[in-house]
Structure 1
Amino acid sequence: MGDDHPSKYVKLSKDQALPAEDIKPGELNQPIDVPQLRVRKCCECGQALPESFEPPADEPWTTGICGCAEDTESCWTGLFCPCVLFGRNIEKLKEDTPWTTPCVCHAIFVEGGMALAVATAAFNGIDPNTSFLICEGLLFSWWMCGIYTGLVRQSLQKKYHLKNSPCDPCMVHCCMHWCALCQEHREMKGRLSDDAAVPMTMVNPPPVQEMGAGRDHQHSTPSASNDGNHTTLEMQAL
């Protein structure tokens, strides 16, 4: 069998063989530059963006930092229970986070620090050493709260492409904490409100008619001679 069908492969000699290339360690693992893949990507999801894409411009806040009276409910909640209002804001901003967790954190650093300062002043009196410790503890807790709540405000601005109002988010919460909480609540309430009424029109279909062989045919004859195919629809606006 081997003599009838000779092999088509030709064995090369050492002189005819191609010289082996020296491959350095790691040379085959180098990345390859593909011009078609050099596109802009979204910083949030990593998807490729078209060449004509332009990021949306920053929008102003719908309400001002001092417009707390525009929403009475959030104004009173932020004044007497700021921890609850802060928890509701985070729950609307991050759906996977319950409002109780940020509420407890806010209550420990802010309301807890104030309550501790009042209790220390009431039971031990106010002296230079005690006043220094109270102020130091309050400043530290307020600084921590300003950073934490400022990061939340920054996430809100990034999500809705809002401008800094009126300055850096952390500085806003350090200087005007309660006003900032109310403003953030009003902003999300206006953008995520489910109470907006959408005008709709309800169309009631005509009643079901049954066709008979004798009497129904006689009743249907006069109506057909009036206007032909005429259907009455009842429309009711909501």
Structure 2
Amino acid sequence: MGAATSRKWSSELCDCGGSLSTFCMTCWLPCVTFGRNAEILDEGQTSCCSHCCVYWLLSTVQFHWIYSCVYRGKLRSKYSLPEEPCCDCCVHFCCEPCALCQEHAELQSRGFDASKGWAGRPMIPPVRISMFK
């Protein structure tokens, strides 16, 4: 197996992220869940609001799944996650809410607070180097 399949997802696709609040948010406002996930994956370069608006506009013509599929690929690549249960585009086309919840849960399991976007990223404590031992 290659490096891209060396790790497992923190939750299954149909677990709905293990959070009722995330599941409800994603069912009624999937653009918000997507925007939060995408802001974190873009490391704050693009805001949640921007992603949310693009996602919503694409959803009016039923192409939002293509946009979110790209970000699933980014998430998988960043954390060496397997492309399962099938390719990213099929996952988003067939089960968009489940895919978004799973991705949200994955980011949370890695220490991100998606409700705060990139500002909610896990903070790495500064390393103190002492010249005197």
TM-score normalised by L of structure 1: 0.44
Alpha-carbon shift at residue 176 of structure 1 (Å): 0.3
Alpha-carbon shift at residue 99 of structure 1 (Å): 0.4
Aligned partner (choices 38, 61, 67) of residue 148 of structure 1: 67
Aligned partner (choices 83, 86, 99) of residue 164 of structure 1: 83
CA distance in structure 1 between the partners assigned to 2:91 and 2:4 by the alignment: 24
Could you tell me which residue of structure 2 aligns to residue 60 of structure 1?
8
Could you tell me which residue of structure 2 aligns to residue 105 of structure 1?
54
Alpha-carbon shift at residue 109 of structure 1 (Å): 2.1
Could you tell me which residue of structure 1 aligns to residue 109 of structure 2?
190
Task: Write the deviation string for residues 18-62 of structure 1: whole angstroms up to 9, x where unpaired.
Answer: xxxxxxxxxxxxxxxxxxxxxxxxxxxxxxxxxxxx957521111
Asked if 1:180 is matched to 2:129, the reply is no
* Percent of residue pairs bearing the same amino acid type: 34
CA distance in structure 2 between the partners assigned to 1:181 and 1:193 by the alignment: 15
Provide structure 1 residue ranges, at least 5 long, that are not aligned to the other structure: 1-53, 114-140, 196-238
- Report how many aligned residue pairs link the two structures: 112
Provide structure 2 residue ranges, at least 5 long, that are not aligned to the other structure: 114-119, 121-133
Maintained 8 Å contact 1:85/1:185: yes
Structure 1 runs of 4+ aligned residues shifted over 2 Å read 54-58, 192-195
User: If you compute each CA radius of gyration, which structure gives the higher value, 1 or 2?
Assistant: 1
Could you tell me which residue of structure 2 aligns to residue 76 of structure 1?
24
Superposition pairs for residues 11-90 of structure 1, below 5 Å?
Answer: 58-68=6-16, 70-90=18-38
Higher relative contact order (CA 8 A, sep 6+): 2
Alpha-carbon shift at residue 75 of structure 1 (Å): 0.7
Alpha-carbon shift at residue 106 of structure 1 (Å): 1.2
C-alpha RMSD over aligned residues: 2.1
Could you tell me which residue of structure 1 aligns to residue 116 of structure 2?
none
